[in-house]
């Protein structure tokens, strides 16, 4: 009887075009993974490094062979034609981001996430500086400040589910879940309030890298970076992919954008010990 030798797992090269440019990738990569590897940023909100993909915000939409798909979940097809930075695709993404502002209550000048908020940074990237045609829904949403170290302001939640995945897959706690439907859908916690749960300030789900907006608030750490030194004051969203060598990072002031519980603990310790950076 012959013994089968293991077949080496060699990635199979494939090709696709992105806005007319020929690009090499590997079979099995998503469109977003292949573009990231080439230094091409595709906007995203529900996707974050270190988390399982969810594919819900659709901000990463592109057209593959004429069909709108989510770049974060869609595997590349060999010889695919992808439209990314076209007027049509960018207008679609911009509408989605606009609607997130109109569905919640966003008062950026008094929000501690201002300057490091991915929603705000995306709006700036898209040049959204004028009023839109959508009505502001101004929903009445709960704020849960029961926990000694963490607060939850649902007014700013964009339902990206990053906290759900971080709590479930990294912390293995399942603190967060979706409840309700349609415009009443919101994030709830595994208990009557946050203080009733096993939530800890050291959970990966509570790190600055997880909530892209100012919904999960780390108490006593607000406004830790002065205006001008906040993450997106210095770098456009997407700069870590488009121009990583030009990124300015001060680990005491700027959120670590990959989910590393060790780095996260260092960040929380530094900011607590030193207080607001001056």
Which residues in this chain contact ligand FES in the complex, by CB under 6 A? 44-47, 55-60, 70, 72
As a whole number of Å, the CA-based R_g of the chain is 20
* Identified binder of ligand SF4 from the candidate list 32, 51, 62, 158, rule CB under 6 A: 158
Per-residue binding string, ligand SF4, 184-213, x by CB under 6 A, is ---x----------------------xxxx
Residue 174: helix, strand or coil by DSSP? Answer: coil
What phi and psi values does residue 81 have, to the nearest 5 degrees? -110, 115
**Out of ligand FES, ligand SF4, none, which partner does residue 47 contact, by CB within 5 to 8 A per kind?**
ligand FES
**Sequence-distant (≥ 6) Cβ neighbours of residue 95 within 8 angstroms:** none
Task: Tell whether residue 106 is a contact of ligand SF4 (CB under 6 A).
Answer: yes
Nearest distance in Å: CB 204, ligand FES: 19
Nearest distance in Å: CB 112, ligand SF4: 8
Nearer to ligand FES, 45 or 204 (CB): 45
Nearer to ligand SF4, 159 or 267 (CB): 159
**Sequence-distant (≥ 6) Cβ neighbours of residue 183 within 8 angstroms:** 103, 137, 139
Piece of 13-21, 115-123, 191-199, 254-262 that binds ligand SF4 (CB under 6 A): 115-123
**Out of ligand SF4, ligand FES, none, which partner does residue 34 contact, by CB within 5 to 8 A per kind?**
none
Nearest distance in Å: CB 164, ligand SF4: 7
Nearer to ligand SF4, 83 or 231 (CB): 231
Nearer to ligand FES, 55 or 261 (CB): 55
Helix axes 118-125, 87-103, angle to 10 degrees: 140
- Total residue length of the chain: 278
Binding site for ligand SF4 (CB under 6 A): 106-108, 111, 113-114, 117, 119-120, 156-163, 187, 210-216
């Amino acid at each position: 009887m012959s013994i089968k030798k293991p077949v080496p797992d060699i990635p199979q090269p494939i090709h696709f075009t992105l806005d007319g440019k020929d690009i090499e990738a590997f079979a099995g990569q998503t469109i977003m993974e292949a573009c990231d590897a080439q230094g091409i940023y595709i906007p995203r909100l529900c996707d974050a490094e270190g988390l399982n993909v969810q594919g819900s915000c659709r901000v990463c939409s592109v057209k593959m062979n004429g069909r709108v798909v989510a770049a974060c979940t869609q595997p590349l097809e060999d010889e695919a034609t992808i439209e990314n930075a076209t007027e049509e695709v960018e207008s679609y993404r911009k509408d989605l981001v606009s609607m997130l502002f109109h569905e919640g209550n966003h008062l950026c000048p008094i929000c501690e996430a201002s300057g490091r908020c991915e929603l705000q940074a995306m709006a700036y990237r898209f040049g959204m500086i004028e009023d839109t045609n959508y009505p502001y829904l101004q929903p009445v949403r709960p704020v849960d400040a029961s926990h000694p170290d963490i607060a939850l302001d649902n007014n700013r939640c964009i339902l990206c589910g990053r906290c759900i995945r971080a709590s479930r897959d990294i912390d293995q706690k399942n603190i967060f879940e979706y409840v309700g439907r349609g415009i009443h859908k919101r994030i709830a916690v595994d208990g009557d309030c946050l203080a009733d749960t096993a939530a800890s300030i050291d959970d990966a789900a509570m790190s600055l890298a997880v909530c892209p907006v100012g919904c999960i608030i780390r108490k006593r750490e607000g406004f830790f970076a002065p205006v001008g030194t906040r993450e997106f004051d210095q770098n456009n969203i997407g700069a870590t992919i488009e121009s990583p060598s030009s990124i300015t990072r001060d680990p005491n002031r700027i959120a670590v954008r990959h989910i590393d519980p060790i780095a996260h603990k260092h960040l929380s310790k530094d900011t607590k010990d030193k207080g607001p950076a001056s």
